[in-house]
Each structure stands twice: as structure tokens, then as C-alpha cells.
Amino acid sequence: MLKVEEQQPVEFSPSLLEKFGEIVKRYPEGKHKSGLLPILHETQAELGWLSTNAMDKIAAYLDIQDIEVYEVASFYSMYFLKPQGKYVMEVCRTGPCCLVGAENIMIHLEQSLGVKEGEVTSDGLFSWRGVECLAACGYGPVLQIGPEYTFYENLNEQKVDELIYDLRNK
Amino acid sequence: MGRKLLLEHIHVPGINTLEVYRQKGGYRALEKAIKTLTPDEVVEEVKKSGLRGRGGAGFPTGMKWSFLAKPERVARYLVCNADESEPGTFKDRYLMTYIPHALIEGMIVSSYALGANTSYIYVRGEMMPQIRILEKAIAEAKNAGLLGKNILGSGYDLELYVQPGGGAYICGEETALLESLEGKRGNPRIKPPFPAIAGLYGCPTVVNNVESIAAVVPIINNGGEEYAKIGIGRSTGTKLISASGNIVKPGVYEIELGLPVEEFIYSDEWCGGIANGKQLKATVAGGSSVPILPANLSLKLANGDPRLMSYESLSEGGFATGSMMGSGGFIAFDEDQCIVRNTWNFARFYHHESCGQCSPCREGTGWMEKVLHRLEYGHGKMSDIDLLVNVAKNIEGNTICPLGDAAAWPVASAIRHFRDEFEWHVKEPAKALNINYGLANYAAPIAKAEVTIGN
Ligand SMILES: Cc1cc2nc3c(=O)[nH]c(=O)nc-3n(C[C@H](O)[C@H](O)[C@H](O)COP(=O)(O)O)c2cc1C
Ligand code: SF4
Ligand code: FES
């Protein structure tokens, strides 16, 4: 997972650092490590993914060991440890959504984007993957796109095509 | 029409804003609690209401609150569990999206009752839009003096924060949630000590589900005794049911506990029947972790009486012929659905979500997924079916947290009630790849004598 070539230097913008400062204020004295998950989200929203260097910088910011950041970032499914497409389309693949056609949506994504799950399209715009239940089972099939996690419900193939078209031409 | 306590005003335009929420009587419970009741009196009302935890376990909320340790000069915490990740469950997301102040008001009243001066709402990270909604609602409440220092001039202070998760079903388990809130991996803790003694940062902590906390508002407004009059027996009040699968009108419904399952599925007021004119094959009544039941047992108890949407009735018959209320995630399967495929899908889910701390869960869930995959894809052996039962049995009860049970029950119950469908996958692998087994003998209603109760 943590490869040497992923060591390019990173800079955190002043606005990102300001967000870090707001986050750590939410916890009692000495408990700033609680800010790790929200800080990882904010960092990923700015940089697109979490490189080793970015994680090391976060560790330094929170004054914790690097490994404390790696083990958290690798445990949770929302953190990307390698570069992704600009739009990561995450389709719910769990039971209730499958009852109403989620598997067809994933097949359709693979065909229309021309990449397998987890891969990035050659223009760098898209990747897609199946994720577990997104707490919207009554409105399935559903798909979300980070970093704001915009939600698309009651999908069918045509709606997916329109969405891809809109994002391509944005 | 059943009574609505949580969703009564959900369709009022602007109910997501403080202004409209207050016009509709919002924050009356807070004023009443903070101005006329002591914290202990609030706890007493919740006890009287009979409210049971809406997160899945159904533990009485008032009793949980009264277990909270109160050592001097030690902070106490209330943490709201908005991790909602149980497949089939989407009520908390709905409530937070459309009527966020119901949760915020509930959090303030509950924090007051428990003597917490800092409280957190732990929201699953994927619900970024809901996190923004809650943050906005908190800011509104704070500007209006309903949060922060000296709330409504009472001298009571409360800070309320929203914390995002990172995407992990296991963080819905309350001790994993607390670990996660401390900035760690979501590994469930060994209990005891329970959070009421040593929870967040080692301090006494109460963890409650979104719906449980929102229900505190009508309980304080109307009094615990009034709340307890709604429902049936020890299943008091109203419950949000997330209805999904092959029904005409999927969505979130507030029901009075005790509603017959048959009415819930077929009445136009609720699910509106099975979609596309098909027949019901099976239901999962309370989220993916509870036992699946064939149609006949979903609608009726083994003795032929109607099954009701209540904690007791849904679990009537134990594992042999019953299921559970769980989180109220009601999933309906029509005649075209393949039980083996769905069981494999759920097994994959639990394998993916196991935190890996205990070997029966880590290894067992992977094993079940693999065996179910080969059954579904036509490479299964007859002995695989008993192997699954055996693996499930060896996980159940042998793990640190209940995720192990949650993984075992769906598999065990699917085989208990649909063994012939599993056997058909072994006997007719080519067919199983192309067509579904269909309704066989599970249709509703079937005569009592035909009910096969295997165990
Ligand atoms: C694997 C697992 C996942 C859980 N997920 C949730 C969840 O998403 N939301 C929730 O409120 N409770 C969940 N629970 C139950 C919590 O551990 C806890 O019982 C609950 O939050 C207590 O609140 P309540 O008493 O108000 O129901 C889960 C339990 C387990 C074992
Ligand atoms: S039962 Fe599973 S999820 Fe729970 S602690 Fe053990 S390994 Fe982790
Ligand atoms: S199963 Fe897809 S959102 Fe729940």
C-alpha cells in the first residue's frame, strides 16, 4: 500500500490548515487525536487522495506517530490510499439495492466508462467502485460522488449515462 | 391513520429551519425540561415512557440512562449514534435530512438529563450532506440561545459537535464508535466496563441512536405516561420503519408499534403491496442482521395468529419461526428473488465489515462468503449446506461484539427456511445460473400444516 514512488511532497493550503484548527477545538484538552478522521476527510477533499507524505504531515500536526495515521486511513473505506479519478462513482452493492437492480448499474458503469472497478479512465476523470449499504435502501439503486458525497437515487442506465455526460462536460 | 410523533410535520415546507420548526411547536420540550424539570425528572419521564433503544438492541433507554456513573468532577458524555449502516436501514438519514432540529432538540434535552456539557453526534462519513445540515441547525440553535452557554438563562451549558466517521459498518457498534471518535480504528472494546462507566476518553458515556434521542422530544412534551399508551405491551410508542425491496412504495414510515405486518405490507397507507403484481416470497424484518422469514411466517405466527410489528411479536417463535425488530429495516423479497444470492451478498457484507479482531468472525465470515459464492455460482456440494450451518454455529456467541452473531443469523435462518432452494442450487447448477427458484412453497398465505419448521 505505501509505495516509495508515492512520496511526492505535499503542501497544505492555509484554508486547509485553518479547518484543522477548527476541528481540533471540538475536543477536550489533550484529546486532539479525535480530530484525525475529520482531518483526513478535509485533506482528501483538497488533494484527492492520501499520500504517505500527506499522512506524515497530519501525524506531525496532531503530534502522533505516523503509524497511528496509516492504521486509521487503511481501516476505513472512505480514504483513498492511491490516486483516483476526479469523480469517484460509488454504487451501493448491498442486498436491498440488488433487489432493485444495483448489479446492472455496476455492469453498465464498467461498460460505459471502459474501466474495471477501482481503475481510473485514461482522461483521469472517472473511477467507480461498489460500496456497502449507503442508508438509502428505499431509493435504490443509489450512487454517490465525493468529496461532498452528492447523492443520486432511483438510478437506471439512462440516468447514469446522463450523469456521466454532465460530468464530462462540466 | 396512525399517530405521528416524529414525522408529524415532515412535509411542512421549511421544517428544516429553526423558524418553522419552532412555529410547529419545536423546542417546547427543551423549555419545559430546562425550566420546569430537574435532570432526574427528565430521566424519570423517559423511564415511564417505556422507550426502547431504536438502534437495534431494543434496550430500555431510561434504564440505560440511570446506569450512568456520576463521579464528581468527571465529565460525562452523550454520543448520538448516527452511523446508520445496517443494510435495509435508512430512517436516521431521513430524519436528519428533513427535520434536523428534532435530533438537535433531543440531544439538548437528553444531555441536560444526563449532565453532559459536551455532546457529539457521530454521523457516518458518507452522509456529508446530512453533516452540513446538522451543522447548520446547530449554528441556528446556538444563535437563538438554545445551545452554548447558559441555555435559556438556566445556567446549563452545552456544546454540541458533529463528528464524521470514515466508512465502516462496525463503527455503529457503540464501543467501536467511541474508539473511532477518539481517532482510532473502529475495533469494538471488550465489555465490561460498559460505556456507562468508562466510555469516551474513559469517562461515563451514554450512546443512543438518532431515533431514540428524537423520541425524547415528544416524551417530554406529552409526558412519559402518554407515550407509553401508544403501542402494544412492552413495545411502546411509534417506530420509524425503513421499507425497501420489492414493494410498491419504499420509504420511511412512522408506525404505531403493534401494526399487523400484513397491513404494513399490503395497505396503501404503507408499502402498498408487492411491486409489479408479484407475490411476496420472504421478508427481513429488522435490517440484514436479523433472521429472514418466508412469506407465510412473515405475516403469521406459527400458531396462525397475525404477526405484528412489535419487538415481541416479530421475535415470537424464537429462531425456529421468528425474527427480530432490530433497527426496523424492513426488506421485502418478491417471488423472483434468489435467497442463495441474497445470503451470499449479506455474507460478503459481513466479511468486508468484520474488524478482524476475533478469529471466529474474521475467518468464519470469509469462509461463509466463499462457500455461498460457490453455491450461487453452481460449484457447490450438498455437504456445503451443513458446512455453512456449522460455521455459523461456531461464530455465534464466540466473538467480542455482536457482529459475529449478525453475520451468522442471516445464513443460519436462510438455510433453516429455504434449504430446498440451497439444495436445488447443488442439484441443478446450470439452471440455478440462469433462472430463479421462484416461489416454491413459500407463498402467503399457506396452510399451517404446510409450514416446514426445520432447525
Ligand atoms: C455491528 C453493529 C452495528 C451497529 N450499528 C448501529 C448503527 O448504525 N446505529 C445505531 O444506532 N446502533 C447500531 N448498533 C447498536 C449500538 O451498538 C447501540 O446498541 C446503540 O447505538 C444504542 O442506542 P439505542 O439504545 O438508542 O438503540 C450496532 C451494533 C452492532 C453490533
Ligand atoms: S465479532 Fe467481528 S467485528 Fe466484532 S470484534 Fe470480533 S472480529 Fe471485530
Ligand atoms: S442497500 Fe443500497 S443503500 Fe442500503
Q: Which residues contact B443 (CB under 8 A, 6 or more apart)?
A: B279, B280, B281, B295, B296, B335
Provide, rounded to the nearest whole percent, the portion of chain B with pLDDT above 70: 96
| Distance of alpha carbon A109 from the chain centroid | 17
Q: Is the pLDDT of residue B183 over 80?
A: yes
pLDDT at B450: 38
The model's confidence at residue B445, banded by pLDDT at 50, 70 and 90, is very low
- Model confidence pLDDT, tens digit, residues B198-254: 999 999 999 999 999 999 999 999 999 999 999 999 999 999 999 999 999 999 999
Is the distance from CB of A55 to CB of A66 less than 8 angstroms?
A: yes
- pLDDT higher than threshold 90 for residue A20: yes
For the four alpha carbons of A159, A162, A166 and A168, in that order, the dihedral sign comes to: positive
- What pLDDT score was predicted for residue B81? 98
* Contact present, B69 and B196 (Cβ < 8 Å): yes
Report pLDDT for B433.
Answer: 87
- If one residue of B46, B52, B81 were mutated to test the ligand 1 pocket, choosing by the most ligand atoms within 8 A of its CB, it would be B81
When pLDDT is averaged across residues B265-293 and rounded to a whole number, the result is 96
The residue to which cell 504531515 is assigned = A57
The Cα B289–Cα B343 span in angstroms is 11
Beta strands in B377-435 (DSSP E): none
Q: Dump strand ranges (E) for B324-447.
A: 329-334
Local confidence band at B436 (pLDDT 50, 70, 90 cut-offs): confident
Q: Any idea what DSSP says for residue B419?
A: H
- Rounded to two decimals, the ipTM of the complex is 0.96
For range B32-53, the mean pLDDT:
98
Looking up cell 403491496, which residue turns up? B273
Residue B333 C-alpha to ligand 2 middle, in angstroms?
A: 29
Burial B236-260 (b: 16+ CB within 10 A, else e): bbbbbbbbbbbbbebbbbbbbbbbb
| Residue having the nearest C-alpha atom to atom 4 of ligand 1 | B172
DSSP string covering B64-91, please? Answer: HHHT----TT---EEEEEE---STT--H
B397 Cβ below 6 A of ligand 2: no
Contacts of B452 (CB under 8 A, 6+ apart): B441
CATH assignment, A87-168: 3.40.30.10
Query: How big is chain B by its Cα radius of gyration, in Å?
Result: 22
- Pick the residue from chain B with its C-alpha nearest to A45: B128
CA–CA distance, B345 with B326 (Å, rounded to integer):
19
Per-residue cell: B190: 471488550
How much is the pLDDT for B442?
61
What is the CA(B404)–ligand 2 centre distance, in A? Answer: 6
Look up residue B74 and give its amino acid: V
Residue with more model confidence, A3 or B166? B166
Among B280, B279, B298, B315, residue whose Cα is nearest residue B409:
B315
Please tell me if the CB atom of residue B175 comes closer than 6 angstroms to any atom of ligand 2. Answer: no
Which residue's C-alpha comes closest to atom 7 of ligand 1? B172
- B39 CA to chain A: closest CA distance, Å? 23
Could you tell me if the CB of B400 is within 6 A of ligand 2?
Answer: yes
Indicate if the pLDDT at residue B29 is higher than 80: yes
**pLDDT cut 90: percent of chain A above it:** 93
pLDDT digits (tens, 9 = 90+) for B75-103: 999 999 999 999 999 999 999 999 999 99
Does the pLDDT of residue A5 top 60, yes or no?
Answer: no
Q: B129: distance to nearest CA of chain A, Å?
A: 7
For residues B117-146, give the mean pLDDT.
98
Instruction: Say whether A98 and B85 touch across the interface (CB within 8 A).
Output: no
Q: At what angle do helices A66-75 and A52-62 cross, to 10 degrees?
A: 120
Under the banding of pLDDT at 50, 70 and 90, the label for residue B447 is very low
Q: What is the pLDDT of residues B389-421, one digit of tens each?
A: 999 999 999 999 999 999 999 999 999 999 999
Mean pLDDT of B114-123: 98
Contacts of B41 (CB under 8 A, 6+ apart): none
Determine the Cα–Cα distance for residues A7 and A2; give it in Å rounded to an integer. Answer: 9
**Three cell numbers at A5?**
514512488
| Rounded Cα distance, B44 and B443, in Å | 46
Q: Is B56 in the pocket of ligand 2 (CB under 6 A)?
A: no
Q: Pseudo-torsion of CA B147, B31, B131, A61, nearest 10°?
A: 20
Average pLDDT rounded to a whole number, residues B23-28: 98
Query: Model-level pTM?
Result: 0.96
CA of A45 to the centre of ligand 1 (A): 28
- Residue range A121-155, pLDDT digits in tens: 999 999 999 999 999 999 999 999 989 999 999 99
Q: Where in chain A is the domain with CATH 3.40.30.10?
A: 87-168
Statement: residue B161 has pLDDT above 80: yes
Burial of A3 (0-12, 13-18, 19+ CB in 10 A): exposed
Percent helix / strand / coil, chain A, rounded to 5: 50, 10, 40
> Quick one: which of B366, B174, B331, B338 has its CA closest to B242?
B331
| pLDDT-based confidence at residue B1 (cuts at 50, 70, 90) | low
The confidence band for B441, taking pLDDT boundaries of 50, 70 and 90, is: low
Answer whether residue B332 shows pLDDT above 70.
yes
Q: B116 vs A39, B76, B200, CA distance in Å? A: 25, 5, 12
The pLDDT value given to residue A170: 86
Domain A14-75 = CATH 1.10.10 = yes
At residue A21, does pLDDT exceed 60? yes
What was the pLDDT predicted at A3? 53
pLDDT bin (cut points 50, 70, 90) of residue A6 is: low
